[in-house]
Amino acid sequence: MKTPQNQLKLEHKNLAKKLHRAVHEANNEYHIIEEGDRIMVCLSGGKDSYTMLDLLLYVKEHAQINFEIVAVNLDQKQPGFPAHILPAYLKNLGVEYKIITKDTYSIVMDKTPEGATMCSLCSRLRRGTLYSAADELGCNKLALGHHREDMIETLFLNMFFGGRLETMPPKYRTDSGKHVVIRPLAFCKEKDIEKYAELQNYPIIPCNLCGSQDGMQRQVIKQMLLDWDEKDPGRVDKIFKSMRNISPSHMLDTNLFDFEELESNIISDSLQAKQ
């Protein structure tokens, strides 16, 4: 008979396998991690980035790929930020790491109008700092901890508020062309990450800047997806599947499909048939 403790260990083991498979599948499809990479793992202190670092260390140990990992945290000088937690955790883990201290908090608070969300400006400042750090550390890739639900939410945010079909890709090159950004958790479900982080007992550091703001549109989209999946289980899975199964000829973007050439081909085929 299984004891509660043994049952918990089994759940932990099965969940780890599930997450490992998801990272493996994403890597096989998008070549996220490649031979000789030096990857800067952006660690915020949240459940997603802790899990990402854990899974990448597993890949490093077990996969037939030689690559390096550098964990980097940006201390943005938010009031009350427990600056000791991540250095102690990373030192105990034995991973190469760097803590960058830059007061972007004051800039965000000064530049953001009252009542407006802070995420956009905060994100731009954070990314710029991390890109510079990647150069200094000799990293050719930056790993971000966005998961499957982040990508689905971003799709709907861009549709509803930006008028475009666009989401977070598993891998892309920045506009400068200098950096490649990867998302190893692209196929990982948020609920699995939440449970895994709980079982791992990570020393979670909450974000008291953007995380404290109510009514953000991403939260509205998140709740919409939760409601959909509750009423129709599997709907979110189907939405994610559709993001990997796109038919450009059945959309309306002339940059993706040459509708004019289609008509020319039809005429050409018709003339050839008559001959």
Task: Specify the pLDDT at position 217.
Answer: 87
Task: Specify the pLDDT at position 112.
Answer: 59
> Can you give the pTM of this predicted structure?
0.87
Q: For residue 47, give both structure tokens.
A: 């459940």
Task: Specify the pLDDT at position 230.
Answer: 95
Contacts (Cβ under 8 Å, ≥6 apart) of 125: 104, 107, 108
Question: 2-22 as b/e, with b when 16 or more CB fall inside 10 Å?
Answer: eeeeeeeeeeeeebbeebbeb
The series of mean pLDDT values per 10 residues for the chain, 275 residues long, is 78 96 97 97 96 98 95 85 92 96 69 59 73 94 97 96 96 91 98 97 78 67 96 96 95 90 62 53
Task: Specify the pLDDT at position 270.
Answer: 52
Question: Residue 194's CB: how many other CB atoms inside 10 A?
Answer: 14
Residue 183 and residue 40: Cα distance in Å, rounded?
12
Strand partners of residue 90: none
Map residue 52 onto helix, strand or coil.
Answer: helix
Q: For residue 234, give both structure tokens.
A: 């599997």
Task: Specify the pLDDT at position 210.
Answer: 53
In Å, what is the CA distance from 249 to each residue of 209, 217, 245? 43, 31, 12
Contact 89, 99 (CB under 8 A): no
Task: Specify the pLDDT at position 113.
Answer: 60
Question: 208-233 as b/e, with b when 16 or more CB fall inside 10 Å?
Answer: ebbeeeeeeeeeebbeebeeeeeeee
Picking from 128, 77, 68, the residue whose alpha carbon sits closest to that of residue 99 is 77
Tell me the per-residue pLDDT of 117-172, one tens digit each, with 9 for 90 and over: 556 656 667 787 899 999 999 999 999 999 999 999 999 999 999 999 999 999 99
List, in sequence order, the alpha helices (H) in the chain. Answer: 4-30, 47-62, 85-93, 104-111, 119-137, 148-157, 190-200, 217-231, 235-243, 259-274
Residue 76 and residue 100: Cα distance in Å, rounded?
8
Task: Specify the pLDDT at position 79.
Answer: 78
Residue 251 and residue 249: Cα distance in Å, rounded?
6
Contacts (Cβ under 8 Å, ≥6 apart) of 65: 33, 34, 35, 37, 59
Contact 44, 130 (CB under 8 A): no
Task: Specify the pLDDT at position 259.
Answer: 86
Please report the domains of the chain, with CATH numbers, ordered by start residue. 14-206 (3.40.50.620)
